[in-house]
Structure 1
Amino acid sequence: MNITLKALSAALGLALPMFSHAADDALIQRGAYVAKLGDCFACHSAPRGKPFAGGLPMNTPMGQIYTTNITPDPDTGIGRYTEEDFARAMREGVAKDGHNLYPAMPYPSYAKVNNDDMHALYAYFMNGVAPVKQANREPDIKWPLNMRWPLKLWNVVFLKSGVYQDKPGKDVAWNRGAYLIQGLGHCGSCHTPRGFAFQEKALDESGSAFLTGGLLDGWFAANLTGEHNVGLGRWTEQDLSTFLKTGANAHASAFGSMTSVINNSTQAMNDTDVTAMAQYLKSLPASGGYGGAQYAYDPKATKVSLNRPAFDPGAKVYAAYCMHCHGVDGRGFAPMLAPLAGNPNVLEKDASSLVNVTLNGTGDLVVGGIPAPYPMPKYAPVLNDQQIADVLTFVRAGWNNNAPAVLPDDVAKMRKSTNAAR
């Protein structure tokens, strides 16, 4: 009997630590998934830098700031943060030493993250991320705009505390999608217009400005409401799911900062979460846009222009540099090569994204470890400001797009702000 008890005790002694270790591993793994949902890697990892060590430059109306080291290094990272410190930084934008973070850190969205996800995220960053000793870089913001105390007032006015609460009358999938879009996914940080104090004009679907598109860091993040022309009105839930998993569909392809979202976040989401996000977005009524008739494809006039490119300088540039990928019909070869006819980004009144992507091309879209075969090349060294303005004006007028013209000054300003040298 004694031998049996000793054997049982020994077995329990071995089993209990193994069970605890397994539970810890499961929590860390869950936290890694939550970090994917929050796209933490994209902002807190600089090109050719180490994961989560910070240093990525971000442009704000006040000047350039740099993302911080969020590895568990005790001296330069967050290794000395308690879970309470971590949650406070995430939800209130206040660092361990008490200084306020700039709202480029999407803490107004992360305020909605529930306690279970926050706990898992903390476990991951403390135990699943390699520490990196890399000092944080001070922002390039001149006095007095670099003073942080006004951010305390900013929080009083604009920060809404409280984790996401399920909306009555909505099903599980809709609420899950709303939680991911509004909270961890912080989609409004880019896709909602900002106010005079750099605040998002709405934080959920109760505000008419929510996800109606916004200009940020040289890109215009698209309208995600049901607006027919510049939004998702013509997209199905499956179109949305395909875009989130692959970065391309029959309507558009990812570029700019959305490329890193696809690369580091949405493609790693499980199908249930992707479907929930698509369902929530498709439930949003049309908002934003700039009026006008609903888009309907018409290739006739554009085809005539391309048959006689010498009579239209934009058509001439298009025929020489664009037509082999995007086609005479403007429909491209989706999903590998984006359509231009009816593309919401082409129809958008603000042409910033089109100018930027034409000058600077696209980053590598990598899905399942395989880079997209036909990235948009950089035309800054090849075409002058007038040529780019001409071809974008042609594209925005063609195939019944009926979008406003692009001016050479628009291109010149973007070239200067993005350091796109000729």
Structure 2
Amino acid sequence: MTDADVHALYTYFMKGVAPVDTPAPVTALPFPFSLRISMAFWNALYLHDVRFKDDPSKSAEWNRGAYLTTVLGHCDACHTPRNTLMAEDNDRAFGGAQLGAWYAPNISSDPVSGIGGWSDTEIVQYLKTGHVDGKNQAAGGMAEAVQNSLQFLSIDDLHAIATYLKSTHPIRSAGETVATFSMGSVGSSADAESGWRGLRGSESNQPLPSGAALYSGNCASCHGIHGEGSKALPGINAGVQAYPSLIHNTATGAGNPSNLIATILYGVDRKVGDNAVLMPAFGRGSYVSQLNDQEVADVSNYVLTTFGNAAVHVSAHDVAVARGGGPRPLLAIVQPYILPLIGAAVALIVLLAVAFGIARRRKAR
């Protein structure tokens, strides 16, 4: 960061934020993450302690966008995949990465897998509002970023970010040949819709029989029976598509269904200016309808095959993993075995040393 920005933050925290006396949470990291010294080895491998410098061959807008994106906004922290030791894989910068149950999508300049097919105006609109018709809508961590940060940036700064992102190295995700937001409806639910209504009473304890019925009962009233979405009421969020279309939507058109599953489980909640966007969660504790893993899988597959990428399939296991916080990184999976392995290695070294000492004594005799 620049000295001016560090000074501005310091002044804000010292003079603009009221002190709050809150007990510090107890750190309970497991071994070896509990050893602060272990960071010294990680830093030696991956920490590049170099301050940001403008590239004189680029425009002022590009340099401002690079600074906002990679320094202040650290967009790469979420959107860049990581290696085995959880360092950013800069060879695939902005190529998309799993973040718990959610997936931070590819935002490189690739026109198929990334945002190369987006106009600068669309990128600015998304960063400012969290929504672009026919493209995407912010949920999860991105909704937080829009609500708490990006919406407050100036239009010039948002255009600078768009300029920088459109210049990044294009990263093509494996197997993708059609832009995720170009995926269209492959069928129609109109004929079946009326047949599902009234089959289960509000007090019925019988599960709905299919993904189509689940969609009809839980989703169609907002997203439409054809997945076309619905406009806001007159005078409320005027001109904004309150419930987005499921056609031409990255959540339904992507090769990775994580965001579709997570949206169903955890819902959407963001506020931009005076406009609030809310989709209820259908996971545990839902105040609308608590769906089990198989039901979430069934409605996901119906949405994918009817409105999005029919080549993608969701299983009940996929939903269970998302409900549990998402896929675990390899480093977290092997963590319970690190201490026993270290103990075994130390014991082996001790045994070898003892054996070597005995051998030397026998040879000396």
Would you call these one fold, judging by a TM-score over 0.5?
yes
Query: In the alignment, residue 405 of structure 1 is paired with which amino acid?
Result: H
Counterpart position of 1:217? 100
8 Å Cα contact 1:222/1:345 also seen in 2: no
8 Å Cα contact 2:79/2:105 also seen in 1: yes
Counterpart position of 2:170? 286
8 Å Cα contact 1:219/1:356 also seen in 2: yes
Which residue, out of 185, 190, 193, partners 1:299?
185
Counterpart position of 2:310? 402
Scaled by the length of structure 2, what TM-score is found? 0.74
8 Å Cα contact 1:306/1:319 also seen in 2: no
More moved, 135-144 vs 182-191: 135-144
Q: What pairs up with 1:310-321 in 2 under 5 angstroms?
A: 313-321=210-218
8 Å Cα contact 1:180/1:186 also seen in 2: yes
Counterpart position of 2:137? 253
Counterpart position of 2:301? 393
Which residue, out of 206, 221, 239, partners 2:122?
239
Q: Structure 2 vs 1, CA of residues 400 and 130 (structure 1 numbering), >3 Å: closer, same or farther?
A: closer
Counterpart position of 2:247? 341
What SS does the aligned partner of 1:234 have? coil
Query: In the alignment, residue 65 of structure 2 is paired with which amino acid?
Result: G
After TM superposition, give the deviation of residue 257 of structure 1 in Å: 1.1
Which residue, out of 315, 323, 326, partners 1:415?
323
1:195-237 Cα distance to aligned partner (Å, 9 max, x none):
11111112xxxx3x11111112321111111334442233211
In the alignment, the residues of structure 1 paired with residue 99 and residue 308 of structure 2 have an alpha-carbon distance, to the nearest angstrom, of 28
Which residue, out of 223, 227, 230, partners 2:110?
227
In the alignment, the residues of structure 1 paired with residue 111 and residue 189 of structure 2 have an alpha-carbon distance, to the nearest angstrom, of 25
In the alignment, the residues of structure 1 paired with residue 43 and residue 266 of structure 2 have an alpha-carbon distance, to the nearest angstrom, of 36
Q: Structure 2 vs 1, CA of residues 315 and 231 (structure 1 numbering), >3 Å: closer, same or farther?
A: farther
In the alignment, the residues of structure 2 paired with residue 187 and residue 193 of structure 1 have an alpha-carbon distance, to the nearest angstrom, of 12
In the alignment, the residues of structure 1 paired with residue 60 and residue 96 of structure 2 have an alpha-carbon distance, to the nearest angstrom, of 27
In the alignment, the residues of structure 1 paired with residue 242 and residue 55 of structure 2 have an alpha-carbon distance, to the nearest angstrom, of 38
1:115-142 Cα distance to aligned partner (Å, 9 max, x none):
2211222222222222222232122322
Structure with greater contact order relative to length (CA < 8 Å, sep ≥ 6): 2
1:53-108 Cα distance to aligned partner (Å, 9 max, x none):
xxxxxxxxxxxxxxxxxxxxxxxxxxxxxxxxxxxxxxxxxxxxxxxxxxxxxxxx
1:227-267 Cα distance to aligned partner (Å, 9 max, x none):
34442233211111111111111122111011211111111
Which residue, out of 21, 24, 32, partners 1:133?
21
Query: In the alignment, residue 321 of structure 1 is paired with which amino acid?
Result: N
Bigger-Rg structure (1/2): 2
Query: In the alignment, residue 82 of structure 2 is paired with which amino acid?
Result: R
Q: Structure 2 vs 1, CA of residues 345 and 314 (structure 1 numbering), >3 Å: closer, same or farther?
A: same
Q: Structure 2 vs 1, CA of residues 360 and 233 (structure 1 numbering), >3 Å: closer, same or farther?
A: same
Q: What pairs up with 1:159-238 in 2 under 5 angstroms?
A: 159-202=47-90, 207=91, 209-238=92-121
1:272-297 Cα distance to aligned partner (Å, 9 max, x none):
11111112112234314233432445
Q: Are residue 324 (structure 1) and residue 231 (structure 2) matched? A: no
Q: How many residues align?
A: 298
In the alignment, the residues of structure 2 paired with residue 340 and residue 298 of structure 1 have an alpha-carbon distance, to the nearest angstrom, of 9
Counterpart position of 2:46? 158
Scaled by the length of structure 1, what TM-score is found? 0.65
1:366-407 Cα distance to aligned partner (Å, 9 max, x none):
212x242x5111112422211110111122223352341110
What SS does the aligned partner of 1:301 have? coil
Q: Structure 2 vs 1, CA of residues 150 and 297 (structure 1 numbering), >3 Å: closer, same or farther?
A: closer
CA root-mean-square deviation: 2.5
Gapped runs of 5+ residues in structure 1?
A: 1-112
Q: What pairs up with 1:63-102 in 2 under 5 angstroms?
A: none
Query: In the alignment, residue 357 of structure 1 is paired with which amino acid?
Result: T
8 Å Cα contact 1:348/1:403 also seen in 2: no
What SS does the aligned partner of 1:342 have? coil
In the alignment, the residues of structure 2 paired with residue 185 and residue 300 of structure 1 have an alpha-carbon distance, to the nearest angstrom, of 38
